[in-house]
Amino acid sequence: MKTFKSGNYINQGTYKSFQPNKINQQWVIDDMEVLNLLSQADRQLGRLDMYSEYIPNIDLFISMHVLKEATQSSKIEGTKTNIEDALLDKEDVNDEKRDDWEEVHNYIEALNSAIKV
Q: Running DSSP on this structure, what letter comes out for residue 113? A: H
Distance CA 101, CA 117 (A): 25
Taking 80 as the threshold, does the pLDDT of residue 102 lie above it?
A: yes
More confident position, 1 or 77:
77
The arithmetic mean of pLDDT across residues 76-94, rounded, is: 91
Global model pTM greater than 0.75: no
Say if CB 101 and CB 81 are below 8 A apart.
Answer: yes
CA distances from 110 to 41, 62, 106, 116 (A): 25, 15, 6, 10
Tens digit of each residue's pLDDT (9 = 90 or more) over 13-35:
899 999 988 777 777 788 899 99
* 1 — pLDDT class (breaks 50, 70, 90): low
* 111 — pLDDT class (breaks 50, 70, 90): confident
